[in-house]
């Protein structure tokens, strides 16, 4: 295991823990932990039937923390798992601990040795890179043939990964998870004479490349792209909007600092310590973080600190119930870690996979939807928001404001027509309390599970 390549191929958590124990004693280190991720990746891209890019890579990311006798933490990163490499990392982290932040001292998670959930994640053998290329070429050709206006598929990719994740520490924690995943994305560009280009796409995930729903990905990408060809401008005004599952999950993800205890403690969240128990959304709205959902390809059994992953209620009945925690934030709040930490000197906190839907026992806003079905409250028409753009620039998470370009349709008189160009703007707190209801079954997406979401009175800026 003297190289990154051999480390990725033969990573064994228990063997590594025993070696680190011996090396730490030699270096005079009593307390340490290590998190590692090693993967083998293969990916291809195509352009009009020809290979555009073919890549294979082996990657390792290893983080080692050491606590000195004063309780301060030093941290270092390495990709060398040889004895000499680990000894250098231990010595570097030990020396760095003298400069540790006295105001930010992480500790081992009290749940780092608790039982892990059992995940059904079949390991799939990799296919050859030439097989990946052939599959993607066929998918591109199929998509190009779906409509004369579809001229290119400028963004596409087919990838497979075999990975190992582990967490070990000097108190005996020893976690390891092996996983295989594959992904396919197709993003088509269509253009008709005298008209602006229109684009849309689709994504599919699976445990192996052979399991990917290639035909479904092509079909969805074609349908979404073609549906945007006949477009027209929209008048600026306030509209009732229907968010697609993907669009609503993107919006909630952009404001996930609402539920992030690290952001609360750092003063960059809309929430405060006292926000738990407050009404955040309409009474029939519920939101869970559930990285263990069977549809979550790539689910992690434990977080960066070794805490087991679990389903966590964030909003129930519209009320903010819990925050996402690391060991340090949980200690500050006097609760247990929730399994949402990344490993570092200042540990990060982040969500896994959202479940959004009606609160059990509620009508899911059915009465609100009935009101719109009868024609009341439709105003200037109904806007369907298919996808949001520029989330990195158009969201001010600490203020709650958003202003985002979107692709979608205006529905008037039972007819839907694509919107040429428009922006939806508002405040996330106002939006959550203006939800009219949920429509249709929840859809599985790469980011979570969500039905269509109706929201009343959003500001739309158009070109008309």
Q: What is the DSSP string of 284-339?
A: TEEEEEETT-TT-TT--SB-TTSPBP-EEEEEETTEE---B--HHHHHHHTS---S
Instruction: Please tell me the predicted confidence (pLDDT) of residue 389.
Output: 95
Residue 376 has pLDDT above 70, yes or no: no
Residue 8 has pLDDT above 50, yes or no: no
C-beta neighbour count of 270 within 10 angstroms: 18
Answer positive or negative: Cα dihedral of 443, 234, 417, 421.
Answer: negative
pLDDT mean over 143-156: 97
Say whether both 394 and 286 belong to one domain. Answer: yes
pLDDT mean over 397-408: 96
Instruction: Please tell me the predicted confidence (pLDDT) of residue 379.
Output: 56
| Low-confidence winner among 137-141, 259-263, 376-380 (lowest mean pLDDT) | 376-380
E strand segments, 247-310: 285-290
Instruction: Please tell me the predicted confidence (pLDDT) of residue 373.
Output: 65
Q: How confident is the model at residue 17 (pLDDT cuts 50, 70, 90)?
A: very high
Helix axes 13-27, 83-96, angle to 10 degrees: 60
pLDDT mean over 407-421: 93
Q: How confident is the model at residue 7 (pLDDT cuts 50, 70, 90)?
A: very low
Say whether both 320 and 415 belong to one domain. Answer: yes
Instruction: Please tell me the predicted confidence (pLDDT) of residue 375.
Output: 55
pLDDT tens digits, one per residue of 196-239: 999 999 999 999 999 999 999 999 999 999 999 999 999 999 99
To the nearest whole percent, how much of the chain has pLDDT over 90? 88
Q: How confident is the model at residue 464 (pLDDT cuts 50, 70, 90)?
A: low
Q: How confident is the model at residue 104 (pLDDT cuts 50, 70, 90)?
A: confident
Cβ atoms of 179 and 120 within 8 Å: the answer is: no
Answer positive or negative: Cα dihedral of 80, 85, 89, 95.
Answer: negative
In whole angstroms, give the CA distance from residue 26 to residue 86. Answer: 12
Q: Choose among 216, 201, 198, 246: nearest CA to 384.
A: 246
Q: How confident is the model at residue 366 (pLDDT cuts 50, 70, 90)?
A: confident
3-class DSSP assignment, residue 78: strand
pLDDT tens digits, one per residue of 61-96: 899 999 999 999 999 999 888 899 999 999 999 999
C-beta neighbour count of 180 within 10 angstroms: 23
In whole angstroms, give the CA distance from residue 442 to residue 262. Answer: 30
Say whether both 111 and 160 belong to one domain. Answer: yes
Contacts of 280 (CB under 8 A, 6+ apart): 258, 315, 318, 319, 320, 429, 432
Cβ atoms of 190 and 198 within 8 Å: the answer is: yes
Largest Cα separation within the chain, whole Å, is 77
Say whether both 96 and 208 belong to one domain. Answer: yes
Pairing of strands 237-243, 50-67: unpaired
In whole angstroms, give the CA distance from residue 315 to residue 328. Answer: 22
Instruction: Please tell me the predicted confidence (pLDDT) of residue 345.
Output: 67
End residue of a domain, out of 226, 241, 262:
226
Say whether both 195 and 235 belong to one domain. Answer: no
Say whether both 144 and 270 belong to one domain. Answer: no
In whole angstroms, give the CA distance from residue 332 to residue 348. Answer: 14
Say whether both 248 and 214 belong to one domain. Answer: no
Q: Which residue has the tokens 């994504």?
A: 203
Q: How confident is the model at residue 361 (pLDDT cuts 50, 70, 90)?
A: confident
Say whether both 303 and 207 belong to one domain. Answer: no
Burial degree of 273 (CB within 10 A; 0-12, 13-18, 19+): exposed
Over the chain, what is the mean pLDDT? 93
Say whether both 268 and 359 belong to one domain. Answer: yes
Specify the number of domains making up the chain.
2
Say whether both 258 and 206 belong to one domain. Answer: no
pLDDT mean over 349-377: 81
In whole angstroms, give the CA distance from residue 199 to residue 321. Answer: 39
Say whether both 199 and 267 belong to one domain. Answer: no
Domain that holds residue 21: 4-226
Pairing of strands 231-232, 73-78: unpaired
End residue of a domain, out of 211, 226, 241:
226
| Low-confidence winner among 5-19, 174-188, 382-396 (lowest mean pLDDT) | 5-19
Instruction: Please tell me the predicted confidence (pLDDT) of residue 378.
Output: 52
CATH number of residue 146's parent domain? 3.30.2290.10
> What DSSP letter does each residue of 7-20 carry, written as one string?
HHHH--HHHHHHHH
Instruction: Please tell me the predicted confidence (pLDDT) of residue 2.
Output: 36
Q: What is the DSSP letter of 122?
A: P
End residue of a domain, out of 176, 200, 226:
226
pLDDT mean over 118-128: 96
3-class DSSP assignment, residue 62: strand
Say whether both 71 and 111 belong to one domain. Answer: yes
Residue 442 has pLDDT above 90, yes or no: yes
Q: How far is CA 389 from the centre of its chain?
A: 16
């Amino acid at each position: 295991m003297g190289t990154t390549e051999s480390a990725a191929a033969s990573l064994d958590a228990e063997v590594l823990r025993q070696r680190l124990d011996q090396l730490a004693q030699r270096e005079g280190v009593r307390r340490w932990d290590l998190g590692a991720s090693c993967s083998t990746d293969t990916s291809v891209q195509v352009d009009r039937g020809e290979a555009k890019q073919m890549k294979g890579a082996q990657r390792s990311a290893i983080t080692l923390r050491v606590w000195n006798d004063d309780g301060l933490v030093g941290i270092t990163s390495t990709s060398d798992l040889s004895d000499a490499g680990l000894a250098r990392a231990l010595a570097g982290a030990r020396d760095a601990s003298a400069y540790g932040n006295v105001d930010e001292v992480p500790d081992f998670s009290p749940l780092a040795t608790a039982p892990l959930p059992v995940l059904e994640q079949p390991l799939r053998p990799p296919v050859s890179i030439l097989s990946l290329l052939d599959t993607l070429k066929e998918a591109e050709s199929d998509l190009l043939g779906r409509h004369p206006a579809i001229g290119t598929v400028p963004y596409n990719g087919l990838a497979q990964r075999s990975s190992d994740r582990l967490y070990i520490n000097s108190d005996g924690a020893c976690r390891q998870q092996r996983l295989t995943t594959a992904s396919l994305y197709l993003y088509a560009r269509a253009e008709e004479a005298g008209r602006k280009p229109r684009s849309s796409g689709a994504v599919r995930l699976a445990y192996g490349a052979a399991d990917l729903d290639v035909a479904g990905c092509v079909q969805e990408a074609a349908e979404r792209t073609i549906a945007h060809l006949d477009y027209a401008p929209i008048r600026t005004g306030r509209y009732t909007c229907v968010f697609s599952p993907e669009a609503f999950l993107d919006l909630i993800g952009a404001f996930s600092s609402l539920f992030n205890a690290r952001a609360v403690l750092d003063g960059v969240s809309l929430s405060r310590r006292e926000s738990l128990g407050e009404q955040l959304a309409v009474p029939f709205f519920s939101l869970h973080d559930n990285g263990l959902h069977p549809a979550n390809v790539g689910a992690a059994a434990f977080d960066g600190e070794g805490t087991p992953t679990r389903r966590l209620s964030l909003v129930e009945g519209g009320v903010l119930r819990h925050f996402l925690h690391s060991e340090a934030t949980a200690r500050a709040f006097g609760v247990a870690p929730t399994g949402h930490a990344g490993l570092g000197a200042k540990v990060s906190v982040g969500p896994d996979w959202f479940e959004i839907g009606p609160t059990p026992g509620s009508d899911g806003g059915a009465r609100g939807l009935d009101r719109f079905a009868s024609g009341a409250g439709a105003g200037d028409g109904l806007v369907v928001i298919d996808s949001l753009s520029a989330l990195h620039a158009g969201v001010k998470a600490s203020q709650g404001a958003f202003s985002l370009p979107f692709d979608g349709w205006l529905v008037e008189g039972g007819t839907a027509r694509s919107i040429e160009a428009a922006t939806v703007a508002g405040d996330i707190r106002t939006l959550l309390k203006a939800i009219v209801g949920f429509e249709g079954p929840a859809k599985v997406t790469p980011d979570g599970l969500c039905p269509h979401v109706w929201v009343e009175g959003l500001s739309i800026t158009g070109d008309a």
